[in-house]
Amino acid sequence: MLSWLSPRVPVTPLTAWLVAHSGVMRPAASADVVVPMLERFLRHDWRWYGELAVAAAEHAPMELGDVTCPITLIGGRADVLTAVEDVVATADRLPDARVTVLPGSHFLPLEQPALLHEALGQLVARTDLVGAAAPTSGS
């Protein structure tokens, strides 16, 4: 049904406002970023989502013991798709993981871009990726 319905949903600032106030997304997301996201999102093949959900439910949890690099898991306090408790449980299985919980939903890049950028900047600093990418003498 979603595959039939989604292309028929008009994507307007009103649609964006309704989605941002639905509980799936938070009102912090502005219509100018939500409208283009909805236009792309509504073109998805919804059958794929069903197949993914079934496959994920049947798949054993990933073995994370070999992951040794610094990791930052970022979750939204009001995320109805990924519970903060699951984010924390995943971090507990990683030796060098940190959890950052931001005010928002599953759509943090749309709702909290500055806070997300800051959290990712802290990860970059913690991993010294900038120093590792710097050219060395003789290269």
pLDDT string in tens for the chain (139-residue length) = 777 888 888 999 999 899 888 888 888 888 889 999 999 888 888 888 788 888 888 888 888 888 989 999 999 999 998 999 999 999 999 999 999 999 999 999 999 999 999 999 999 998 876 666 667 766 5
The model carries a pTM of 0.76
Q: How far is CA 70 from CA 85, 123, 127, in A?
A: 20, 8, 6
- Predicted local distance difference test score (pLDDT) of residue 75: 96
- Predicted local distance difference test score (pLDDT) of residue 107: 93
Spatial separation of the C-alpha atoms in residues 12 and 66, rounded to whole Å: 46
- Predicted local distance difference test score (pLDDT) of residue 86: 92
Strands in 12-139 per DSSP E: 71-76, 97-102
Residues in contact with 117: Cβ distance below 8 Å, sequence separation at least 6, in sequence order: none
Tell the residue number behind the tokens 């070999």, with chain if given.
Answer: 66
Q: Exposed (0-12), middle (13-18) or buried (19+): which is 42, by Cβ within 10 Å?
A: middle
In angstroms, the first-to-last Cα distance of the chain is 57
Neighbours of 87 (CB within 10 A): 19
Using an 8 Å Cβ cutoff, are 86 and 114 in contact?
Answer: no
What tokens appear for 43 in the block?
Answer: 């073109």
What tokens appear for 40 in the block?
Answer: 């792309």
